[in-house]
Amino acid sequence: MSGNITANIQSIVDNLDHIEWKQAIYEAITNSLHANATEINITFKSDTLDYENTKKKIDEIIISDNGEGFNNENTEAFQEYGTQHKKIKHNIGAKGVGRFLYLKVFDSVYIESLDKEIKFSVHENIVVNTLDTKKYSSTKVYFKKPNIKLIIDYSKLKTSIQEHFIAYFKLLNTKEVDINIYENNEKQLQIKSSDIPEFKTKEFKVNKHSFTINYVFNNKNYNFTEGFYCADNRVVIKNSDLDQKKKLKAFQNINILFLLSSEYLNNNVDSTRANFTIMPLRTSQQNIFQDTSWQDIQIALKKEIKKIADENKISIDKIAKENLEESLIIAPYLSYYLKSNEDVYSVETLLDNAKKALEEDKKTVRDDIEDNQRLLNIITQAELAEYIFDRQLTIDKLKKLTDEDAIEKEIHNLFMKQYTKDEKEDYRSNNLWLFDDRFMSYNKVFSEAQLKDMFPKLIDNLERPDILSIGEMNIISNTYKKNEITDIVIIELKKASDKITPARAEEQLIDYAGYINEAYENTKIRIWTYAFLKFDEKTENSLKNKDYNRVLTKSKYPIYYKPFNAVNTIINFIDYHALADDAHNRNKTFMKILKGKETVS
């Protein structure tokens, strides 16, 4: 005897939302649990050659169980599209499309159970062949020809199954269920339904609807915050997977694992059973079955979690205040956007949200400056404060790069990224102010072609300085136009070496300055030159004997400088420690003001 479903499978599958392959596995496990199975075996079959330590591509998945199997009643339900059979019998809800989820991932499915053989695919209706005798003592489902490349991480799969079914195991209180996972004939791992933590339970109302929260609070084995929204005693979606406008974003410093269930959630799960149809916000268009939004649910849920924390002697308000204060210490320039922390966000989230708000305000001002003068003032103050603060971060990074193992490229990119050559660079893109604040606006970096065109003798004799920057001091947007150049900065960023003596470095820098000025007939432009030396007592004596001036710093060695009028340059010899210390001294007053330790009179 045989029968077949009358619905068009292709159209049903096409109308289902996209799912992850694991969703098909979840559906099969759920069917086994619905059949009162106590042992479920999942076998991943692979024809890939068995190379050691090589993850294999999965060609077929077989799921077997010792449950009730396909009797006449549930076989009839299986053949009907949109059946409510499981909901009536078990109160564990089915939308009647679970078997079609399989075909979102696999080409075909074949089932053996009791006296039934069932097969179906996207291109064929469900065909049920009823045998004369009960040939099969267990139920086996064969998922054939996956339409995606399946390579399994078994540890991650175990975690995802445990998380997905934790609500089922907790809410139904079923007897022990073992889920065994195999690759070919080799057992990979086992999941036991009893391996769940002890939950506590609370009831609360959202509008007229009753909700139940089952939770584990501050359990050392669950050192994270996550929520699971359930429908009909199974997880539908994790809080972390919800859309931004729907999820609970609060309490990121509190370890709580919770399951939320309600008849309202049962009635508003979508056809894939992977999400809900609940709107983010309540609207006038909502129907009588959707009189409560995600916003309503999350507001009520936050209140319950605060109560749970209070019962466990944890002050939510104290954590919120501490996180807010730490955020202000880390980023004082965002103070306008860091005024409250009602949702007890983590420091990271507070800072991310504040930065996003600042960027949104910038866009608003760009679109309409005239009507947003107050907002413009707030933004400019924040950007100035951010710039000063970012300077300090750069100084701190330079201090970390001053050890002997720091590579030349890392230090080079700290001052200005290598190969910078376009005109989009701004004051944020270079850090030449580390040498002198007058260089804040110097961001035009000459290419070799430009050097050859404007300063041919320099390029012919150049031993390639690491950075050659040029700018006009009185404007922010610097120039590549030769006749408008007033200053050039040459920085030799060669790694300090015993082979580079002060005399050799001085000679080279004087030559560079001379080659540049030879390109001008009636004037000489100012040239600022910097070079790093391997400082020791011998180096210092050499510089002192050459009448170099000194700028004292808190580091071991000062900065040495000397003007050379013939080529209109000042040569500076420096080490990275002294440079970082000098920059820190120039920035520290601004930092004190930002942190409220000094006021401007």
Least confident of 120-129, 236-245, 306-315, 403-412: 403-412
Q: What is the mean pLDDT of residues 255-263?
A: 92
In the CATH scheme, what is the code of domain 2-192? 3.30.565.10
Coil, strand or helix: which one is 97? coil
- Token duo for residue 14: 């096409």
- Over 60: is that where the pLDDT of 51 sits? no
The answer, yes or no, to whether residue 214 has pLDDT greater than 90, is yes
Q: How confident is the model at residue 422 (pLDDT cuts 50, 70, 90)?
A: very low
Greater pLDDT, 128 or 409: 128
Per-residue buried b or exposed e for 572-592, using 16+ beta carbons within 10 Å of the residue's own CB: bbbbbbbbbbbbbeebeebbe
- The domain segmentation of the chain, as residue ranges, is 2-192, 200-310, 315-400, 407-580
**560 has pLDDT over 50:** yes
**CB 110 within 8 Å of CB 144:** yes
pLDDT recorded at residue 77: 54
Dihedral sign (CA 536, 537, 538, 539): positive
Q: Is 120 in a helix, a strand, or coil? A: strand
Q: Name the pLDDT band for 298 (thresholds 50, 70, 90).
A: very high
Residue 17 has pLDDT above 70, yes or no: no
Strand-pair partners of 26: none
Rounded to an integer, what distance in angstroms lies between the CA atom of residue 199 and that of residue 124? Answer: 45
**Dihedral angle, C-alpha 516, 521, 522, 526, nearest 10 °:** 0
Output the pLDDT for position 599: 46
Backbone angles phi, psi at 118, to 5 degrees: -125, 135
Residue 418 is predicted with a pLDDT of 53
Q: Which of 221, 193, 215 is nearest to 202 (CA)?
A: 215
Task: Say whether 62 sits in a helix, a strand or coil.
Answer: strand
Backbone dihedral region for residue 159 (phi beyond 0: left; psi -120 to 50: alpha; all else: beta): alpha
Residue 406: exposed, middle, or buried by beta-carbon count in 10 A (0-12, 13-18, 19+)? middle
| CA 121/CA 99 separation, integer angstroms | 10
Checking if the pLDDT of 84 tops 50, the result is no
Beta-bridge partners for 178: 39, 192
pTM of the entire predicted model: 0.52
Residue 469 clears pLDDT 50, i.e. is over it: no
Q: What is the dihedral of CA 152, 158, 161, 163, to 10 degrees?
A: -130
